[in-house]
Amino acid sequence: MQHDVVAIVPELMLVAAALVLLLIDPFLPAKGRRGLSWLGIMACLPAAASVWLARSQQFSTFSHGIALDGFAVFFKILLLAVAALAMLLSEKHLARNGRLLGDYYALVLLATVGMMVMASAIDLATFFVGLELMALSSYLLAGFFRHQLRSIEASLKYFLTGSFASAILLFGMALLYGLTGSTNYQQISIAIGSGSLDGHVIVIAVVLLLGGFAFKVAAAPFHGWAPDVYQGAPTPAAAFLSVGPKIAAFAAIIKFFTIMLGSEQARWVPLMIVVAIATMLIGATMALLQHDLKRMLAFSSIAHVGYLLLALIAAGQSHSNFGSSAILFYLAAYAAMNMGAFGVLVFLANSARFNDSLDEMAGLARRFPGAAGVMAVLMFSLAGIPPTAGFLAKFYLFASVVDAGYAWLAVIGVLFSVVSAFYYLRVIVYMYMREPEPEVAAVMEPGGGRSWDLSLGLGLATAVVIVLGVLPAPVLNAAQDAVAKILGS
């Protein structure tokens, strides 16, 4: 592993872009802010390119605090794509709500930097810095529409629960440090693997870490904040927040649980099984009851986290990298389909009087056939029907669970996916099989309308969903290779 500052070049690029955005924003006239999103998006491209160029080597810096290895490469490219997509979805929506500011893009970029640091941290301290950078930026993004009560409420709820989660995580990490005398993942792993440590303290540390991460990824029983935050946050920000932090948190979870606590899997796997089943149960059943689409998507994303935790159990149980690579592939598919679904809501909010309720979707196929078609593809993908990314991701994930010897968990998982098909199909029922009711249906408004970057973003997300569903091999191979290179092993 080479020691070189190259390891954080992509992060530095994003930070520089964020600072430029913050600096030039006050000097621009309102009209001049139109192109700011492209400054942010364009910053992601060289960052991704530099990550890509570094893929065959391994770099570390900050005295082994952060590493750019194959594992981090996969996550960083995914996170940069998510950030770019989030910015593509945003501009028109911000402008319509009178909040078209460079700050927004700067916050997205800074949150992304935090996520990227989380994905490539190999030291508890560095990881926590990344986590906090991501978290603080996310709280601000959730409250970005400061004139809307719901947005402020979302921000405050996110901040309070998130701070608790961070504190709990920190406590768990402190226990690990106290036990092992190191903050380095590898050394902690070696110390725990030696088997000479106090098992009770390890259990407490595991519970605290699990609790903290459960908050961050919205897993039961710490999922309660997610629906409120996604509902209240500006829709494009919700798209970003429903995907980005989860990707980063799962990168860290894989390292924490399969590497650091890999030898302790007998202690955490049973707990994780309970959490995973509870998460799927709550996500799938609560989503059935929702009438607000953003809340429905929030509970659906909770259910998806449940599936991801199943793969984590597989990753902990079996000695192959199968489970971990399933998580990576699933995250890529989930990012495209979930952000796409939020993107359609953004499109509708831009084009019409639209309050995210299911009733307003009635007859959508007649008024917005393109948006309805995209939404239908994304809903089928979220439900896991071929030929979409959602199907292959689920297939690969459940395959890893079966392979690890948990066929019964896979059966529970697929049965919940049938339950969840019901609420995804309901969206399609409203769009295609109901006639609009004039009082509630989303009506085209003058002044509303298309913005081509939003259409581009939706088109990209849909294309990714279909391509990953038909020809998944390149991404699948990348996910497997990335996991094989985790922590330089």
Partner 1 sequence: MYSFQQQVGFPILSVMTFLPTLGALAMLLLMRGRPHLYKYTALATTGATFILSLAMVWKFDQYTADFQFIEKVNWIQRLGASYHMGVDGISVLLILLTTLLSLIIIPASWNYIKDRELGFFASFLFLETGMLGTFCARDLLLFYVFWEIMLIPMYFIIGVWGGPRRVYAALKFFLFTMAGSVLMLVAIVGIAYLARPNQYAAPVFDLDQLQHAVFSFPVQMAAFLAFFIAFAIKVPMWPLHTWLPDAHVEAPTAGSVILAGVLLKMGGYGIIRFCIPLFPDAVVTAMPYILILSIIAIIYGALVSLVQKDLKKLVAYSSVSHMGFVTGGIFAFSVIGLEGALLVMFSHGLLTGALFLMVGFMYERLHTREISAMGGLASPFPVMAAFLLFFTLGSLGLPGLSGFVGEFLSLLGLFTYNKAMAVVAAAGIIMAAAYLLWMYLRVMFVETRDEKWFRLSDLNLREIASLAPLAGLAVWVGVYPDTFINIIQPSASHLINHISPYLAQHGDFLTRFFASLGGGR
According to DSSP H, which parts of 7-69 are helical? Answer: 9-24, 36-53
Min dist CB 426 to partner 1, Å, is: 8
- Is 273 a residue that touches partner 1 (CB under 8 A)? no
Min dist CB 315 to partner 1, Å, is: 16
As given in the structure block, the two tokens for residue 343 are: 């993107």
Min dist CB 128 to partner 1, Å, is: 35
Min dist CB 265 to partner 1, Å, is: 18
- Is 380 a residue that touches partner 1 (CB under 8 A)? yes
- Is 421 a residue that touches partner 1 (CB under 8 A)? yes
By CB under 8 A, which span of 107-115, 182-190, 336-344, 431-439 interacts with partner 1?
A: 431-439
DSSP 435: P
- Is 425 a residue that touches partner 1 (CB under 8 A)? yes
By CB under 8 A, which span of 31-39, 145-153, 222-230, 393-401 interacts with partner 1?
A: 393-401
- Is 484 a residue that touches partner 1 (CB under 8 A)? no
For residues 46 and 28, what is the distance between their CA atoms, to the nearest angstrom?
25
67, β-bridge pairs: 60
- Is 266 a residue that touches partner 1 (CB under 8 A)? no
As given in the structure block, the two tokens for residue 207 are: 């519970």
* Cβ-proximal residues to 214 (8 Å cutoff; 6+ apart), any chain: 220, 221, 222, 223, 275
Q: Closest Cα partner for 106 from 147, 137, 128?
A: 137
Q: Which of 385, 393, 464, 482 binds partner 1 (CB under 8 A)?
A: 385
For residues 389 and 368, what is the distance between their CA atoms, to the nearest angstrom?
24
H/E element, 77: helix 70-96
Q: Do 233 and 97 form a contact (C-beta atoms < 8 A)?
A: no
Phi, psi dihedrals of residue 66, rounded to the nearest 5°: -145, 140
Nearer to partner 1 among residue 13 and residue 410 (C-beta): 410
CA angle 50, 51, 52 (to 5 degrees): 90
Contact letters for partner 1, residues 228-247 (x by CB under 8 A)? --------------------
Contact letters for partner 1, residues 120-159 (x by CB under 8 A)? ----------------------------------------
- Is 45 a residue that touches partner 1 (CB under 8 A)? no
Q: If you compute the radius of gyration of the chain from its CA atoms, what whole number of angstroms results?
A: 21
Q: Which of 38, 171, 177, 395 binds partner 1 (CB under 8 A)?
A: 395
352, β-bridge pairs: 444
Residue 455, CB-side half-sphere exposure with 13 Å CA sphere = 7
Nearer to partner 1 among residue 144 and residue 430 (C-beta): 430
**Residues within window 433-472 making contact with partner 1, judged by CB under 8 A:** 433-434, 472
Nearer to partner 1 among residue 150 and residue 485 (C-beta): 485
- Is 324 a residue that touches partner 1 (CB under 8 A)? no
- Is 402 a residue that touches partner 1 (CB under 8 A)? yes
Phi, psi dihedrals of residue 195, rounded to the nearest 5°: 80, 10
Min dist CB 373 to partner 1, Å, is: 9
For residues 283 and 298, what is the distance between their CA atoms, to the nearest angstrom?
8
Q: Strands of 59-61's sheet, edge to edge?
A: 2-3, 59-61, 66-68
- Is 320 a residue that touches partner 1 (CB under 8 A)? yes
In 322-465 the beta strands, taken as DSSP E runs, fall at: none
Phi-psi region of 446 (alpha: psi -120 to 50; beta: other; left: phi over 0): beta
- Is 386 a residue that touches partner 1 (CB under 8 A)? yes
Contact letters for partner 1, residues 334-373 (x by CB under 8 A)? -------------------------------x--------
Residues at the contact surface with partner 1, assessed by CB under 8 A: 320, 365, 380, 385-387, 391, 395-396, 398-399, 402-403, 407, 410-411, 414-415, 417-418, 421-422, 425, 428-429, 432-434, 472-473, 476-477, 480
